[in-house]
Amino acid sequence: MENDAAIQLKTLLQLHLATDTSSAQNLPYILDILTSEHLSPSPHLTKWTSRIYSLLHSKDAPGKWAGLCLAHRTSLLSKSVMIEHAQQWLTIALRVLSVLLLNTLARIIPLYPNAHRSSHTVLSGLCLQSSSRLYAVLPATGGKVGASNLWKKTVEETLTFGWTAFSSLRTSFSEGPVSRSEDAHIAIPLNLDRLRCFVIIIDDLLGTGTQRSVQVPIGSLHKFAIALLTCSRSNGHIDISTRSLEASVVPTLWKLGCEFVASLATHLRHHLTSHLNGLTSCLSSHLEQKIAGSQPLPFLKALHSILVHCLPLHSEVSCNRLTKAVLSSITAILPSQSDFDQSTDTAQTGRSKKGKKRARAYEGDELLKVSRNILFPLSDDGKAVLVACDVLAVLLRNPGLSPTTHSLSVRVLLSILFFLPQRPPLSLSSDPALHSKLLQKIQALVTESGCGTTNTASKSLGLVLRAVDLSTIDDSACQQTLDLLLHPRVPPLVRSLPHVETLSLFHSEEGTEEARDRELLGLTVLQQTSDPVQTIVTAPSPQVDLDQEDRHTRPIPPAIVPAPIPTDMRAPANPGNSMPRAEPRMQLEEDQEMPAIDLDSDSDSASD
């Protein structure tokens, strides 16, 4: 006669484990009541192990997970069952838990390299198909002496693997082989995936440390990075269909090249100094051309990694070229021709004398406009402009930057700072948080440009106070900004006025070289008869070529912005009152006369 435990095990098999779905739903209850008595020898024990085996082969993830949990609990409660069925269960469990096992091996091998020396060949074949992280730590199995040689050999083999995949993607171009035996529809995605694996493996290999110094083939790595960044869709021949497929993956090759360059800059740092000019020239060329179908975000990220982790650029030409290229990515925030025409029509309608009604712009009216355009429709576009601000912040600190380029950059940033608060957040991006993030970065750039010099620090008190308001979330940034007020470099009274060649805010102070650079960027300064403010404005252009000096640019009117504070304005007694404030204006009727102002009253009283 069956005991109670056997009867209960039979009930679990018939009711709770009848299907894969019910097994996953009833799993907590089964694990709670299951004991070693249920797994004692009985006619139902064979059915129990068979049911676990079928759950492990389930195509549904919940059923497979239920089989793993039941096999684990059964192994803990019955040693005899575990010894009999563990081999079958482990064969299936290794496939499911491969990621966890590979990560575990990647941590164990650097700790005990000699113990895994005999398994080097087997593990190499395994990790080439599964994990680059494990493959990167396998050179440690060579010991203190052989680890360096194994690491160098692994890097060379990986480079050969990458060149083979890259050449297979350029068969219809001049740098690839002429003939191809396999189908292009299968070979191109396969080699593109191999090239993506190459970038990941190189990043893991460069990030793996060895006990002794190693020789890094920087020249070979730099040559491969240049090959990825300089590939194009032109110079094709032979098969048209194959060429179209290979040309479609060129943007992906650029993206992988940028990730490869960022990995080199992060791990090699100052060892990459001799190759910085070539890399920055390729990146600036892509940022200047704005080829359709390519996103600037990967190029900006690679450039930011180079500027942050490597030594400062020693070439003034590269520094100025990069600044202009990055600046062209930010100028899209400025108002366009249509924005100015709309604001001008609204202002003229408001000044009409035919009636008392004036055009009103209601708050939130932009939400009701069906035809409104979003400046950064994609999330990558918003991330690109934020990374561009970070790159521009590093470039403005470079001492090799020319005064004209620095002055033009500051003028553009000031124009953006004036216009951005007036722009609705939803017209900038579908993400409302992008507006505040971008405003904070622009404010930080302008504050650093104004407070970082002894000439303009005393005139930028309002910028410092506004920066404090915008950086309340970051305590360190707030403390650093307040330190500009508490510990100035030179007392404000002995500071001289800003030099014209250092920071020119007006059209009359602009030099010939600065005007030429501004026109090459597609920026125009317009003068209005009713408002003496000169503002830098721009419009999105399909391509910006900074190398052609005779490029024709279209003048684009500005948005209405507050007038700049004169440089000879006296400092206020209360620092808190130095913030720019909007003074209330008194509305006059049409028949009411304007009050007369005697401009000679002060001189007359002084003479009397």
Q: How far apart are CA 228 and CA 178, in angstroms?
A: 19
Q: CA quadruple 333, 339, 341, 344: dihedral positive or negative?
A: negative
Name, in order, each residue with C-beta under 8 angstroms of 390's C-beta and a sequence gap of 6 or more: 304, 441
Q: How far apart are CA 403 and CA 510, in angstroms?
A: 12
Q: Which residue has the tokens 């999105």?
A: 540
User: Is residue 217 within 8 Å of 278, Cβ to Cβ?
Assistant: no
**Of 608 and 521, which is predicted with more confidence?**
521
The candidate with the shortest Cα–Cα distance to 75, out of 66, 86, 67, is 86
What is the per-residue pLDDT across 213-236, written as a single tens digit (0 to 9) for each? 888 888 888 888 888 888 876 655
What is the per-residue pLDDT across 26-83, written as a single tens digit (0 to 9) for each? 888 888 888 888 888 888 888 888 888 888 888 888 888 888 888 888 888 888 888 8
- Give Cα 251 distance to the centre of its chain: 17
Q: Is the pLDDT of residue 490 over 90?
A: no
Q: Is the pLDDT of residue 501 over 50?
A: no
Q: How far apart are CA 62 and CA 54, in angstroms?
A: 13
What is the per-residue pLDDT across 561-579, written as a single tens digit (0 to 9) for each? 444 434 344 444 444 443 3
**How long, in residues, is the chain?**
608
Q: Which of 117-131, 194-208, 409-423, 533-547 has the lowest mean pLDDT?
A: 533-547
**Of 471 and 444, which is predicted with more confidence?**
444
In terms of C-beta density within 10 A (0-12 exposed, 13-18 middle, 19 or more buried), how is residue 601 classed? exposed
Q: How far apart are CA 25 and CA 379, in angstroms?
A: 39
**Ranges of H-type helices in 12-97:** 20-25, 27-33, 43-56, 61-77, 79-96
Give the range with max mean pLDDT: 344-353, 504-513, 562-571: 504-513
The candidate with the shortest Cα–Cα distance to 259, out of 295, 305, 219, is 305
What is the average per-residue pLDDT within 364-370? 51
User: Is residue 1 within 8 Å of 43, Cβ to Cβ?
Assistant: no
The pLDDT of residue 536: 56
The pLDDT of residue 604: 45
The candidate with the shortest Cα–Cα distance to 435, out of 421, 419, 452, is 421
Q: Which residue has the tokens 């380029």?
A: 405
At 72, the amino acid letter reads H
What is the average per-residue pLDDT within 534-540? 50
Q: How far apart are CA 595 and CA 145, in angstroms?
A: 92
The candidate with the shortest Cα–Cα distance to 579, out of 448, 467, 416, is 467
What is the average per-residue pLDDT within 4-30? 85
The candidate with the shortest Cα–Cα distance to 33, out of 54, 60, 9, 10, is 9
What is the average per-residue pLDDT within 150-171? 84
- What the block records as the tokens of 285 is 């060329």
Element (H, E) at 136: helix 132-137
User: Is residue 537 within 8 Å of 526, Cβ to Cβ?
Assistant: yes
User: Is residue 550 within 8 Å of 540, Cβ to Cβ?
Assistant: no
